[in-house]
Amino acid sequence: MVGGTTVDLIRHAANAGLDVTVIDFSERVCSELAAEVADVEVVHADILDPPTLDPMDRVVADTLLNRFDGTEAPRFETAVAGLLRRGGQLRLTVKIGLYPMDERLFRLGRSTATLDRFWDPRTRTIDFARTGALLEEALVPHGTLSREQMLVWYRARGVEKRYERSDLRALLRPPLWRLQLATDPDRTECCRLVAVLEGDRTSE
């Protein structure tokens, strides 16, 4: 599991008797998860530069790809290929297209003639660090996090890519991967991605 904040899913997998390893780049998240869920291995590491682990049957994450830009996504693909055993599966949910907050930012950016400062339509990337005061006006509630926490969080995120299904097919292509995409029935703006590792780099 990549990402230690999906605690319910991690606990469910552990309670089902699975051998679960969780990787998260945040030392605080790792500490809190280790205290919250027993019988899982918690590894403090960046998935883009993963540690050496025994080959995995599954790598699972929820909307993690949406946190990456177009240069980081290929690094993620390479890292996952190195973590999985042949025949293993990458399972992701990926938000397709724009978020509601993106659309609010775009409207504000057009009205102030500043859209091209933070949005690159060629790469479909948003640089939240360059949104300035528009971010405060565009911000939407996120669960129990305070407005101040969310502003700090977004401004520290930097560049993110907005994905289409064509991007996923280009990222996880044969002969290395066998890819299946389906709409998530619980979140129709997301797709469920299952990619089976069928070879190694020499077979591409």
The ranges assigned to domains in the chain are: 7-97+163-203, 100-161
Question: Is the model's pLDDT at 159 over the cut of 60?
Answer: yes
Q: How sure is the predictor about 142, in pLDDT bands with cuts at 50, 70 and 90?
A: low
Mean pLDDT value across residues 165-172: 97
For 21-66, write each residue's pLDDT tens digit: 999 999 999 999 999 998 899 999 999 999 999 999 999 999 999 9
Classify the phi-psi angles of 6: left when phi > 0, otherwise alpha if psi is within -120 to 50, otherwise beta: beta
What's the CATH architecture for 100-161? Orthogonal Bundle (1.10)
Q: How sure is the predictor about 202, in pLDDT bands with cuts at 50, 70 and 90?
A: low
What's the CATH architecture for 7-97+163-203? 3-Layer(aba) Sandwich (3.40)
pLDDT of residue 143: 63
Residue type present at position 145: L
- Tell the residue number behind the tokens 């089976």, with chain if given: 196
Question: Is the model's pLDDT at 203 over the cut of 80?
Answer: no
